[in-house]
A = this chain, B = another copy of it.
Amino acid sequence: MSTYRTIIGKRDTRSFTGQPVPEESIRRIVQAGRMAGSSKNSQPCRFVVIDDPAVRGEVATCGDFAVWLPTAPLVVAVVVPDDAPRAEFDAGRAAQNMMIAAAAEDIASCPVSMHHVDCARDAVGAPAGWRVSVVVAFGYRARPPKSVPEAARKPFDEYVRRNRW
């Protein structure tokens, strides 16, 4: 599948089989995150790769919509410094790189917000001055998506303007 097809065909999912993600795929996923560019090459993101079910369970208590998280065989927490001005944008770049690299191997994914900042920091053991920007769940899709990806998007012309809004 071409890179373009992989990108536009990616659907977030929260429904995984129990099959573990192979170690070599994990390595490619985090390497994709590491290679994402960042503001002034500040490289604000750190990744905590979580396959220990106890830690996944703990992280799941830190988001308002994360109760399903322990069913994902692999979770990657993206941790950023509190004082990096473009950290959320750069975390989005890194997370998307990881998710597209995974999708190229038929590994589905979904980012999950951590509403309870201290809870998430403690769950992954990050130091003071850092926060979990997002955690991303990875695994093999339990069932096919209900719709084609484009059906879930606003019309093209609402998204895209030319030269002036």
Interface residues of A (CB under 8 A from B): 1-4, 6-8, 10-12, 28, 30-37, 39, 41, 43, 45-52, 55, 79, 86, 88-97, 99-101, 103-104, 110-111, 113, 124-127, 133-134, 149-150, 152-154, 156, 158-165
Contact = CB atoms under 8 A, between A and B. Distances in A.
Contact of A160 (B10, B49, B101): B49
Contact of A93 (B6, B49, B95, B159): B95
A34 B161 CA distance: 12
Number of copies: 2
B39 A113 contact: yes
A99 B55 CA distance: 33
Given A8-B32, A100-B7, A152-B41, A55 B164 contact: yes
A15 to B, nearest CB: 15
A46 B89 contact: no
B3 A101 contact: yes
A133 B36 CA distance: 18
Nearest to A134: B89
Residue among A35, A55, A149, A153 having the largest count of chain B Cβ atoms under 10 Å: A35
A6 to B, nearest CB: 5
